[in-house]
Amino acid sequence: MANLEARLKEVKTIAKSPKAQLKKYLAAGKKVMGCFPMYVPEVIAHAAGMVPMGMWGAQTEQKLSKLYLPAFACPLMQSNMELGLRGTYEGVTAAMIPTMCDTFRCVSQNWKSGVKIPMISFSFPQNRKLQASVEFLETEYEHVKSCIEEILGTKITDEALENSVKIYNEHAKLMMKFAEIVPDHLDVITPTVRHEVMKSAMFVDKAEHIEIMKDIIAGLEARPAFNWTGKRVVLTGITAEPESFLKIFEDNGLAVVADDLGQEMRQYRTLIPDEGKTVMERIARQWNNRYACPLAHDEEFSRGDHLLDLCNKTKATGVVVCLMKFCDPEEYDFPLYNKQLRDAGIPSLSLDIDQQPTNYDQARTRLQAFAEIL
C-alpha cells in the first residue's frame, strides 16, 4: 500500500499530464477510447479492454477550431475541436460523442468533418420517465458496442460487461466515500488536491484508480479529523479549472467541501443499478437515475434541492457557481437554483470559466469579497 502523500503526488502528475498517460497505455499495447462529456458509457469501452480517457478540453489557444466554431461556442467544445484538429489526441482509437446540447449537436458534425479520429455518436433520451426511453438507450448503447467491436475486431461479452460494471460501481462508491470524508481533512485536501484526485480518475484505467482511491481514503481515515476554522463552499458547474482558479480559493481561506461539477461528482454520484433484465439495460438505467444535472431533462428540477442538501450535509455557507462560458444549459438553471439558495439564506457567487489562457484577477477580487460576506 502506497502512502497518502505518494498517492496525492501521483494524482497530481496524472491530472497534469494526460498525454503521458496516453503514451503509457499505448506503449503497453492498450487501445484508448476518448470520452467527451458527459456520462458516455465508458463501461462498454472498458469491457472491450480499452482504457477510456476523458476529453474535457484544456487551457489552450483557439486557432484551428475557428474554422468550425464561432466565438460564442463554449470553451470546452472549442478546445476539444482545437485539440482534435491539431492532432493532440493522436493515438486515441475513437471518440464517444453524445449530443447533449445545441453546441454538441454541431460539434458531433464538425468532428466527423474535420478530425481524423473516428466518432462514435449516440443520443441520450431526454424523456427519462418512460420504460421506452430505457429501451431506446439500450439500442443506442448496442450501437456504441457494435462500433467498438467493429473497430477492434473483437466481441464484447456480457460477462466482460458485468465485470466492468462491477469495477465502475466500485470506483464510483470510492469516489463518493472520498467526497464524503473530504470535509474532515481540509488540511490535506485543498481545493486543488481535491480537484486533482477527481480529475486523475479520467486518465487512469478505473481498476487502477480503485487502488489509488483505496490508499487515499485509508490514508485520510488514519488521520484525525481536522478542525477547519475557515469557510466552506460548494462548487457547481461543468468544471472548476485551471489550478490558478482554485488557488484563489486557497488564498482566501475557502475550502471546497463538496461539488456538483460535471467533471467531478456528477459523474460518480449515480451507480449502475442492479435492476434490469440484461446488463445493457442496467447500464442504460443509470442515465434515467441521474439527477440535478442541466443536461438531463428533469421535470421536477431537483438541482436547487440538491445544492441545498450538499450545503446542509457539509456545513457549507456559500455556493460558487463555476459557469462555463456560453454553456446555455447551465445558464438556464442559474436563476432557478439561485432563487432557492437565496430563499434559504445561502449566498452564491457566479464566476466565468474559460479555457483560453487568461488570468483570473477579476475572479480573485470577487472571491475575496465573497469570502468576507460568508
Partner 1 sequence: MSEQQVKKPKRPMSKSLIMVRQQLADLYTEAGEAKARGEKIGWAASIFPQEICETLGLVVLYPENHSAGIAARHQADPFLQRAEGELEYNNDICSYAKINLSYIDTRNLEANNMPLPDFMLIANNICNQVTKWYENIGKRYNVPVYMLDMSFNHENFVTDSRLKYIRAQMEDIIASLEKLTGKKFDQDRFREVMEISAENKDLWIKANELQANSPAPLNGFELFNYMSAMVCCRGKRSTTEILKQLISEIEEHIEKGDSTYPGEQKYRVFWEGIACWPHFSHNFKVMKKLGMNIVATAYVRAWALDYIPGDLDSLIKAYTFTPSNNTPIETLVERRSRDLIKFKCDGMIYHLNRSCKVMAMQQAEIQRRLTEITGVPYVSFDGDQSDFRNYSEAQFETRMEAFTEIMDQHKAVREGK
The binding site for partner 1 (CB under 8 A) comprises 67-70, 72-73, 99-103, 105-110, 113-114, 121-123, 125-127, 130-133, 135-136, 139-140, 294, 297-299, 301, 323, 325-326, 328-329, 331-336, 338
CB of 32 to partner 1, least distance (A): 22
Measured from the CB atom, the residue of 135 and 159 that comes closer to partner 1 is 135
CB of 273 to partner 1, least distance (A): 20
Question: What are the strands, taking DSSP E only, across 105-207?
Answer: 119-122
What does the alpha-carbon distance between residue 366 and residue 254 come to, in Å, rounded to a whole number?
Answer: 13
CB of 336 to partner 1, least distance (A): 5
DSSP 3-state assignment of 143? helix
Measured from the CB atom, the residue of 69 and 371 that comes closer to partner 1 is 69
Measured from the CB atom, the residue of 109 and 190 that comes closer to partner 1 is 109
Measured from the CB atom, the residue of 121 and 263 that comes closer to partner 1 is 121
User: What φ, ψ does residue 171 adopt, rounded to 5°?
Assistant: -65, -45
> Cβ neighbours of residue 92 under 8 Å, at least 6 residues apart?
22, 32, 33, 34, 53, 117
The residues that bridge with 52 in the sheet, in sequence order, are: 33
The residues that bridge with 234 in the sheet, in sequence order, are: 258, 319
Measured from the CB atom, the residue of 79 and 314 that comes closer to partner 1 is 79
Asked whether 191 and 320 are in contact (CB, 8 A), the reply is no
DSSP 3-state assignment of 98? strand
Measured from the CB atom, the residue of 110 and 192 that comes closer to partner 1 is 110
CB of 323 to partner 1, least distance (A): 8
Q: Which of 249, 244, 236, 233 is nearest to 190 (CA)?
A: 249
Measured from the CB atom, the residue of 140 and 196 that comes closer to partner 1 is 140
What does the alpha-carbon distance between residue 149 and residue 268 come to, in Å, rounded to a whole number?
Answer: 26
CA torsion, points 243, 17, 119, 159, in degrees to nearest 10?
-110
CB of 329 to partner 1, least distance (A): 6
CB of 93 to partner 1, least distance (A): 19
What does the alpha-carbon distance between residue 158 and residue 281 come to, in Å, rounded to a whole number?
Answer: 11
CB of 66 to partner 1, least distance (A): 8
Measured from the CB atom, the residue of 140 and 205 that comes closer to partner 1 is 140
Q: How many residues does the chain have?
A: 374
Asked whether 195 and 240 are in contact (CB, 8 A), the reply is yes
Only one residue has cell 463552499, namely 233
CB of 309 to partner 1, least distance (A): 17
Q: Which of 158, 339, 371, 122 is nearest to 256 (CA)?
A: 371
> Is the link from the previous residue into 38 a cis peptide, with omega within 30 of 0?
yes
